[in-house]
Amino acid sequence: MEKIDLSQLDYDEIKDISKKQMEDVFDKKQAARPILNEINERGDKALIKYTKKFDGVELESDNIKVSDKRIKNSYENLSEREIQALEQARDNIIDYHETQLPKKIELDEFEEGITLGSLFNPLEKIGAYVPGGKASYPSSALMTLLPAYVAGVNEKIICTPPSKDGRINDMTLAAADIAGADKVFRVGGVQAIGAMAYGTKTIDKVQKIVGPGNSYVTAAKMLVRGKVEIEFPAGPSELVILADSSCDPGYVASDLLAQAEHGPDSLVILLTTSSEVLDSVKEEIKERTNSLNRSEIIKNSLKRAKLVLGEQEELINLLNDVAPEHLELMIQNPMSILNEIKNAGAIFVGNFSPTAVGDYATGCNHVLPTGGMAKIHSGLNVYDFMKRSSLQFLSKKGLRNLREITEIISEIEGLEAHSNSIKERFKEE
Amino acid sequence: MEKIDLSQLDYDEIKDISKKQMEDVFDKKQAARPILNEINERGDKALIKYTKKFDGVELESDNIKVSDKRIKNSYENLSEREIQALEQARDNIIDYHETQLPKKIELDEFEEGITLGSLFNPLEKIGAYVPGGKASYPSSALMTLLPAYVAGVNEKIICTPPSKDGRINDMTLAAADIAGADKVFRVGGVQAIGAMAYGTKTIDKVQKIVGPGNSYVTAAKMLVRGKVEIEFPAGPSELVILADSSCDPGYVASDLLAQAEHGPDSLVILLTTSSEVLDSVKEEIKERTNSLNRSEIIKNSLKRAKLVLGEQEELINLLNDVAPEHLELMIQNPMSILNEIKNAGAIFVGNFSPTAVGDYATGCNHVLPTGGMAKIHSGLNVYDFMKRSSLQFLSKKGLRNLREITEIISEIEGLEAHSNSIKERFKEE
C-alpha cells in the first residue's frame, strides 16, 4: 500500500493507473491470433487439441456439449439455500434489467403527417464466456445471460472451461440452467472465443460474445470483433473508495480487502480528505489480511494499492480520470456529488452499499468496464442485446413539408435521383 | 437487374448478399495497417506525407486545422436557402435525437432501502469522419455531430479530406459549423482515422470515431478499435423495398434509382408479391436511367440489383436475412407487419416515405449499419455518445434484506472477504 499526499505528488502519476491495467491484454494478442485462426480452419478438431493442451482434458466431439442430464444432476450437489440464493439473485437481476427494456415500438408525431420513432428487436444468438477451471463463478452465468433473456434473445449459449477431471463445476452448471442457458459447452480460453466467433460443427457462431475472462480471453475477444460483436474488453477488477471523516474505516477496509481478493492484479484505491481515516484504514487492513483465506492474493494486490490524501474537489477529478470499474462514496451527502461523477462503471452510494452486494444481489450488473474504459463504455445492460431500427412514416402532407429541405440538400450533394424521388410524389401537382 | 422468381431459386443464394458487400473492407486492412502505425509513430509528419500521397495536397503543420476565418467565409458561397435548409435539417435532427436522451439520473426504490438506477454521462471528445474530395457531404457533418451535441459531448472534431486545390468544400465547412464542430481538420483517409485514434501534435486523440468513409477508412476504423471506440463498420449503401400491388411503381423505381446513384457498389433489391409491379418497376427504371446525371454509376449499381417475386411471408424472411440499411414498405397496411421486421437500419413506412427524405430532412439519423450488421447494430444515436453508470444506494435495512444472498454466493465463489464486507456492517448485532 502506497500512501500518497496528493499535494506532494504529481497528479499524472496516478491518473493513468487504470489504463496501465489493460497493457497485459494487448500483449496477449500475439499468442491468441494463431489459436483463433486454427479454430476458424479446423473447428472442433482444434477445440479438442487446445482443450487438451491448456486444460489437460481429452474431449471428444460428442461431449463438448454438456448433456442435459449432467445439467439436471448438478442441482443434487447444491444445498436448498444455495439454489434459493441463485434463484433470488436471478429474480433481482431480471427486475432491475427490466427497467432498461424499451418499448418494442415507439412512435411520435413530430409535425402533422411526420411520424417518427423506433422499433427495438433483440439479437438472435449470443454467447457468454464464464470463467471456470478450479474456481466457480455462478454469478457470471447469471449476469451475462439474464440481460439477454430480458432483451428477448432467442438462443443463449455458455462456454466455460473444464477442470482437470473434465467436469464443469456444479454451481456454474446450476446457475447456467437457472439463467436459462440453451446449451453449455466444456471449452474455455481463446479456443472458446474462436468457436463462438467462427462457429464449429458443435458450437454455433453467435452474434455477440460477452463475459469476463483472463487476459488471453479478452485479447481473443478484441481480435474477433468485426466478425462478431463484444461488449467491451475488460481487464482486472478495480475499486476506488472516496471517503471523508464521516465514514467507518472498518467498512472501508473490508471493502478494499474484498476487492483485493479477486486476484493479484486487482486495483484498490482509497481517496480521502482525512488523514485519520487514511491511517485507520491502513491499520485495519494490516490487522485483517493475514487471517483471510486468500491472504497471499490480497497481499500481492495491496502492493499496488494507493491510499491518497487530498481535497475533495481534486479527489473527484482524480476518480474521474481513473474511471474505476467500481466506485464507493462513503462521504456525507453522497447524493449531492453525483452530478460531479463523470466516469465509473458502478457507483455505490453511502455506508451500506458495499461492492459485494452489487456483485451478487442487488440485481445491477457486475460485468463492468475496467482499465479506464468507463469513460466510454456502460456496464452490460439490456441494450447490449438489442438493436434499434428508426421508423419513418410520412403522409403526403408531411412529405410536402420536408420537400424543400430534401431537394436543396440533394442538389448540394449532387444527387439528382434523390431529389427526383421526392418530385415523383408530387408530379401531378 | 436480375429478375428472380423465389420459387425457382435457392433462397440462400440471395440471403447473404449484403454480407458479401463487406468483404471489400476486410481486404483493405493490410493496406491500412502500416499507415496507421506510421501516424502513431510520426504524428503530423506522417499526416502531411500521406495527404500529399493520396490527396495531392501539400499541408504544413500549421494549416492542417481549417482556420476560423475560413469557416466563417464558407457561408459566403452558400445561398440563403441553402443555409436555411441546413439549419432546418439541423433543427429536425436535434428534435428527433432529443427523444432518445435519457434522464441524467434515474432512481427507483425496488424494495424498502434498496434504491437502484443509472447515471448517464456524455463522452468527452469525439471525432467525425466526413467524406470529401470532389464531392460534398454536408449532411454527414450534421448526422455525425448532432447526436453527440444532443448527448452533451464537450469536444467534437471533424476530419475531412481536401480536394486537389487543398480546399475543403464550402458546404461541408458551413454544415460543420452549423453542426457545432469545435475544430475541422483538412485530412482524410486512413491517416485521418489514425490521427484521431492516436492523437498527433495538431489533432487530439478522441474517445470515439464515427461517420461514413470508403473501404480503406472503414478498415482503419476497425483496426483502431480498442484504442478508441467506433460506431460500427459501414460498407456500401443498401435499399430493400417490399412492395405489393397497392404500390405506385413510379415511386418504387424512383427510390431504387436514388439508392443506385450513391455509388457503383450500392445494393438495391425489390421484393414484391406482384409480377405486374416487378415488370413495371423494371420498365420505369430502364426509361429513366439514361437521362440522369449519374447514369453510369447507376447502371453499374443496377447490374447487381435483384427484383424478387415471392409470397409476402417468404419475402419478409428474406429481408430479415438481408438486414438492409434502408427498408421501404410500400404495401397495404404497412404498420401491421412492423412486428415481423427483425433487422433493418431504418424503416420507411408507406408510399410517402422515400429514403431520401430520411437521408436529409426528417431528423432521423442516416448513419446506419450495412452489410447485414443491422442484425446486431443500431443506427447512430444519442446512446453512442453516452455511457451509463449503475447507481446502488442501500440503507442498513436494505442491505440486511440482501445479506443472505450475498453471503451464500460469496461463499460459493470462495470469496471470504466479500462475505466479510457484508458481515462487517452487522457486527454489533
ipTM of the complex: 0.95
Cα A167 versus chain centre, distance = 26
User: Is the model's pLDDT at B128 over the cut of 70?
Assistant: yes
What grid cell was written down for B288?
429513366
Q: What is the DSSP letter of B160?
A: -
Among A230, A387, A397, A399, most B C-beta atoms within 10 A, so best to mutate, is A387
- The pLDDT mean for chain B works out to 94
A326 catalytic? Reply is: yes
User: How many domains are contained in chain A?
Assistant: 3
- The last residue of one of the domains, among A312, A345, A363, is A363
User: Is the model's pLDDT at B10 over the cut of 70?
Assistant: no
Scanning every residue of chain A, which has its alpha carbon at the shortest distance from the alpha carbon of B392? A348
| B359 is known to lie in a ligand binding site | yes
Q: What is the pLDDT of residue A6?
A: 62
User: Is A421 in Cβ contact with B254 (below 8 Å)?
Assistant: yes
Distance between A276 CA and the closest CA of chain B, angstroms? 20
B147 chain-A contacts, CB cut-off 8 A: none
A325 catalytic? Reply is: yes
User: Is A362 in Cβ contact with B116 (below 8 Å)?
Assistant: yes
Interface check B331 vs A, CB under 8 A: no
Q: What's the average model confidence in pLDDT over A39-60? A: 96
Q: Does residue A155 share a domain with residue A88?
A: yes
Under the banding of pLDDT at 50, 70 and 90, the label for residue B5 is low
Q: What's the average model confidence in pLDDT over B343-349? A: 98
Cα→Cα distances B60→A138, A249, B70, Å: 58, 57, 16
Q: CATH number of the domain that B8 lies in?
A: 3.40.50.1980
Residue B189 lies in a domain: yes
What's phi and psi for B309, nearest 5 deg?
Answer: -105, 135
Which region holds residue B56: left if phi is over 0, alpha if psi is between -120 and 50, else beta?
left
Distance between A100 CA and the closest CA of chain B, angstroms? 10
The residues, any chain, with a CB within 8 Å of residue A356's CB and separated by 6 or more, are A255, A258, B406, B410, B415, B418, B419, B421, B422
Q: What's the average model confidence in pLDDT over A86-90? A: 98
Q: What is the pLDDT of residue B7?
A: 62
Under the banding of pLDDT at 50, 70 and 90, the label for residue B6 is low
Residue A147 lies in a domain: yes
Interface check A8 vs B, CB under 8 A: no
- The pLDDT mean for chain A works out to 94
Scanning every residue of chain B, which has its alpha carbon at the shortest distance from the alpha carbon of A209? B376
Q: Does residue A34 share a domain with residue A154?
A: yes
Nearest to A400 by CA among A421, A425, A417, A418: A425
Nearest to A358 among B89, B135, B392 (CB): B392
SS3 A297: helix
Distance between B85 CA and the closest CA of chain A, angstroms? 5
Scanning every residue of chain A, which has its alpha carbon at the shortest distance from the alpha carbon of B356? A418
Task: Give DSSP secondary structure letters for A380-414.
Answer: S-GGGGEEEEEEEEE-HHHHHHHHHHHHHHHHHTT
Q: Does residue B170 share a domain with residue B127?
A: yes
Residue A375 lies in a domain: no
Distance between B123 CA and the closest CA of chain A, angstroms? 6
Cα→Cα distances A239→A265, A364, B258, Å: 12, 16, 53
Size of interface A-B (CB pairs under 8 A): 373
Q: What is the DSSP letter of B19?
A: H
Q: What is the pLDDT of residue A96?
A: 98
Under the banding of pLDDT at 50, 70 and 90, the label for residue A428 is confident
Percent of chain A's residues with pLDDT above 90: 89
* Strand residue runs (E) in B367-420: 386-394
What grid cell was written down for B152?
452533451
User: Using one digit for the tens of pLDDT, what is the confidence trace for A359-404?
Assistant: 999 999 999 999 999 999 999 999 999 999 999 999 999 999 999 9
Nearest to A169 by CA among A161, A177, A179: A161
C-alpha B190/C-alpha B213 separation (Å) is 10
Interface check B396 vs A, CB under 8 A: yes
Q: What's the average model confidence in pLDDT over A56-69? A: 95
Q: Does residue B351 share a domain with residue B314?
A: yes
Residue B76 lies in a domain: no
C-alpha B124/C-alpha A317 separation (Å) is 14
Which region holds residue B360: left if phi is over 0, alpha if psi is between -120 and 50, else beta?
alpha
Q: Does residue A132 share a domain with residue A196?
A: yes
Interface check B418 vs A, CB under 8 A: yes
User: Is the model's pLDDT at A272 over the cut of 90?
Assistant: yes
CB-based contact B292:B259 (threshold 8 Å) = no
Q: What's the average model confidence in pLDDT over A150-170? A: 96
Under the banding of pLDDT at 50, 70 and 90, the label for residue B313 is very high
Residue A112 lies in a domain: no
| B377 is known to lie in a ligand binding site | no
Q: Does residue B243 share a domain with residue B177?
A: no
Q: What is the pLDDT of residue A342?
A: 98
SS3 B384: helix
Domain that holds residue A402: 395-426
Scanning every residue of chain A, which has its alpha carbon at the shortest distance from the alpha carbon of B421? A254
User: Is B229 in Cβ contact with A225 (below 8 Å)?
Assistant: no
Stated as kind and residue range, the H or E segment containing A125 is strand A125-129
What grid cell was written down for A126?
449470443
Q: Does residue B184 share a domain with residue B60?
A: yes
Stated as kind and residue range, the H or E segment containing B96 is helix B80-98
Interface check A163 vs B, CB under 8 A: no
Q: What's the average model confidence in pLDDT over A134-156? A: 94
CB-based contact B120:B151 (threshold 8 Å) = no
- The last residue of one of the domains, among B230, B247, B281, is B230
C-alpha A127/C-alpha A137 separation (Å) is 16
A226 chain-B contacts, CB cut-off 8 A: 26, 222, 225, 233
Q: Does residue A264 share a domain with residue A146?
A: no
Residue B347 lies in a domain: yes
Chain A window 99-158: which residues touch B at a Cβ cutoff of 8 Å?
A: 99, 104-106, 108, 110, 114, 116, 119, 121, 123-124, 135-139
Interface check B332 vs A, CB under 8 A: no
Q: Where would I find the H helices in A199-264? A: 215-224, 249-260
User: Is the model's pLDDT at B16 over the cut of 90?
Assistant: no
Q: Does residue A47 share a domain with residue A13?
A: no
Q: Does residue B173 share a domain with residue B59?
A: yes
Q: Does residue B66 share a domain with residue B188?
A: yes
Q: Does residue A183 share a domain with residue A94?
A: yes
Chain B window 37-76: which residues touch A at a Cβ cutoff of 8 Å?
A: none
C-alpha B120/C-alpha B132 separation (Å) is 34
Residue B221 lies in a domain: yes
User: Is B293 in Cβ contact with A414 (below 8 Å)?
Assistant: yes
Q: Tell me the CB-side half-sphere exposure of residue A65, using CA atoms within 13 A.
A: 14
Interface check A34 vs B, CB under 8 A: no
User: Using one digit for the tens of pLDDT, what is the confidence trace for A204-243?
Assistant: 999 999 999 999 999 999 999 988 999 998 889 999 999 9
Among B420, B426, B429, most A C-beta atoms within 10 A, so best to mutate, is B420
Chain A window 256-295: which residues touch B at a Cβ cutoff of 8 Å?
A: 257-258, 260-262, 288, 292-294
User: Using one digit for the tens of pLDDT, what is the confidence trace for A312-364?
Assistant: 999 999 999 999 999 999 999 999 999 999 999 999 999 999 999 999 999 99
Q: What is the pLDDT of residue A1?
A: 75
User: Is B417 in Cβ contact with A254 (below 8 Å)?
Assistant: yes
Under the banding of pLDDT at 50, 70 and 90, the label for residue B25 is confident
- To the nearest 5 percent, what fractions of chain A are helix, strand and coil? 50, 15, 35
Q: What is the pLDDT of residue A10?
A: 65
Helices (H) and strands (E) in chain A, counts: 18, 14
User: Is A233 in Cβ contact with B353 (below 8 Å)?
Assistant: no
Q: What is the pLDDT of residue A38?
A: 98
B82 chain-A contacts, CB cut-off 8 A: 408, 412
- The last residue of one of the domains, among B309, B340, B363, is B363
User: Is the model's pLDDT at A4 over the cut of 90?
Assistant: no
Nearest to A315 by CA among A363, A264, A359, A274: A274
Catalytic residue among B231, B238, B261, B325: B325
Residue B112 lies in a domain: no
* Residue type (1 letter), A343: N
Q: What's the average model confidence in pLDDT over A105-116? A: 97
User: Is the model's pLDDT at A19 over the cut of 90?
Assistant: no
Q: What's the average model confidence in pLDDT over B46-66? A: 95
C-alpha A258/C-alpha A247 separation (Å) is 17
Work out whether the CA dihedral A427, B3, B5, B10 comes out positive or negative: negative
Task: Give DSSP secondary structure letters for B362-393.
Answer: SSS------TTGGGT-PPS-GGGGEEEEEEEE
